[in-house]
């Protein structure tokens, strides 16, 4: 269960870049993505399209359809069908692949989601389809603390060859600022009937900014090794990440392995460059660049690979993103009336006041998210409330989103912490 750090960071970068632009009036939804492969002679060639369907009158797609191009024709490849609960969170996710022989979509896997009263995803169960029946494949069970932060995770996986269930559990620890400082992982030994240490991650912070993560692999004995198996060192420009250095234990200590450089503008990535440590120096490997439209949504994504012969970066992949205005969610005395809330001061330093034009007609939730989509806080709001006071003295500077969610209506606002 070793984590692939580079893949995780790439996914996080893409997720951050693809966050839709949100304001009090307009929210945008992603309609399609066109992906191109670069050819030195033919230039960019369109190879895949992804289309998003929205049947829930919101900004969360209910179908992801992937098309591939073969011999000049567009063919179905695979798709995801998604349903949501009344709080607009995942309820089911069905993965299907297209069969050219039968000309039908064939079920492959299905995911079922369960939530607690605070809409924390407590159980995610995956099934695989054998052509006749849905069979249990794996399940993730989570527990949360009073701040809605995950404290425990149990992962149960079925090995198809033996039908044996492999179990992994993880424990999460937080500091007084809500930072995840420790994650310990254990594997179940079915022979001994005991949990055994596997690996752990120790995180160090400066305020709310992570500055180091050490990964330790259990080698037996009474204690964990003194030297981590790997280390990530984070550097920042203001509150934006500047680079991440990855180091590995060579047997005689930690040595450099790779580095990732980031260039941001207003919290959005413009360029991400990967380099490897070769013969005592950083050597170019690959990089991403992002362009945005006038509404702040990602419009173009380019991936480049380094060419040693030419001593320069050359194109590899290009993706074009197409957006449209989503049907806005509103909060107020009716689904046709905007919230008309006054938030002050905005930007704010510690205390933020919210004054509503009229009292809420039903109970709901007030959630805060950062630009990465991470939930910062969740507060239950009572029916009849007309004003709310929030206090975030330890919150890092930056852009955040407040999302109101009641039984009838929803709306999201952008706020800035100074």
Domains of the chain: 5-325 (no CATH), 342-417 (2.60.40.3080)
Cα separation, 40 vs 302, whole angstroms: 15
Cα separation, 9 vs 84, whole angstroms: 27
From edge to edge, which strands make up the β-sheet containing 375-381?
375-381, 364-370, 398-406, 410-417
Please give the full DSSP string across 105-127, using - where no structure is assigned: EEEEEEEEEEE-TT--EEEEEEE
**Locus of tokens 């060579």:** 250
The backbone region for 394, taken as left when phi is positive above 0, alpha when psi lies in -120 to 50, beta otherwise, is: alpha
pLDDT at 332: 31
The backbone region for 340, taken as left when phi is positive above 0, alpha when psi lies in -120 to 50, beta otherwise, is: left
pLDDT at 340: 52
First to last CA, the chain: 39
pLDDT at 119: 85
From edge to edge, which strands make up the β-sheet containing 387-391?
342-344, 351-355, 387-391
At 396, list the tokens. 């890092």
10-residue averages of pLDDT along the chain (418 residues):
44 52 60 92 91 76 93 93 86 96 96 92 96 94 93 91 85 94 96 95 94 96 93 92 95 95 89 96 97 90 96 96 69 37 77 78 80 75 80 78 74 78
Cα separation, 236 vs 242, whole angstroms: 5
The DSSP H or E segment spanning 237 is: strand 230-237
């Amino acid at each position: 269960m070793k984590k692939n750090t580079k893949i995780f960071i790439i996914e996080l970068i893409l997720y951050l870049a693809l966050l839709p632009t949100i304001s009090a009036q307009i929210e945008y939804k992603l309609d399609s993505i066109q992906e191109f492969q670069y050819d030195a002679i033919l230039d960019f060639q369109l190879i895949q399209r992804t289309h998003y369907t929205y049947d829930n009158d919101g900004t969360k797609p209910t179908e992801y359809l992937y098309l591939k191009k073969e011999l000049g024709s567009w063919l179905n490849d695979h798709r995801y069908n998604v349903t949501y609960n009344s709080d607009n969170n995942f309820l089911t996710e069905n993965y299907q692949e297209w069969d050219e022989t039968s000309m039908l979509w064939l079920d492959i896997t299905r995911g079922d989601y369960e939530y607690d009263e605070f809409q924390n995803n407590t159980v995610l169960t995956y099934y695989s389809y054998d052509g006749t029946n849905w069979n249990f494949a794996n399940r993730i069970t989570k527990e949360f603390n009073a701040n809605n932060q995950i404290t425990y995770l149990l992962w149960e996986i079925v090995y198809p060859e033996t039908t044996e269930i492999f179990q992994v559990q993880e424990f999460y620890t937080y500091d007084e600022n809500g930072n995840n400082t420790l994650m310990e992982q254990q594997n179940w030994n079915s022979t001994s009937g005991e949990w055994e240490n596997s690996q752990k991650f120790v995180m160090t912070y400066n305020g709310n900014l992570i500055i180091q993560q050490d990964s330790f692999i259990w080698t037996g004995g009474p204690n964990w090794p003194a030297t981590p198996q790997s280390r990530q060192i984070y550097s920042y420009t203001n509150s934006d990440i500047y680079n991440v250095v990855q180091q590995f234990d060579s047997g005689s200590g930690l040595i450099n392995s790779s580095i990732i450089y980031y260039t941001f503008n207003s919290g959005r990535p413009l360029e991400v460059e990967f380099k490897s440590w070769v013969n005592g120096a950083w050597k170019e490997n690959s990089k991403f660049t992002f362009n945005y439209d006038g509404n702040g949504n990602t419009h173009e994504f380019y991936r480049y690979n380094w060419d040693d012969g030419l001593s320069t970066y050359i194109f590899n992949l290009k993706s074009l993103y197409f957006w449209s205005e989503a049907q806005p969610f509103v909060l107020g005395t009716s689904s046709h009336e905007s919230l008309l809330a006054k938030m002050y001061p905005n930007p704010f330093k510690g205390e933020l006041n919210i004054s509503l034009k009229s009292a809420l007609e039903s109970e709901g939730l007030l959630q805060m998210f950062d630009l990465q989509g991470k939930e910062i806080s969740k507060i239950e709001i009572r029916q009849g409330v007309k004003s709310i006071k929030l206090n975030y003295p330890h919150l890092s500077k930056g852009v955040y989103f407040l999302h109101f969610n009641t039984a009838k209506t929803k709306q999201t606002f952008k706020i800035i912490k100074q």
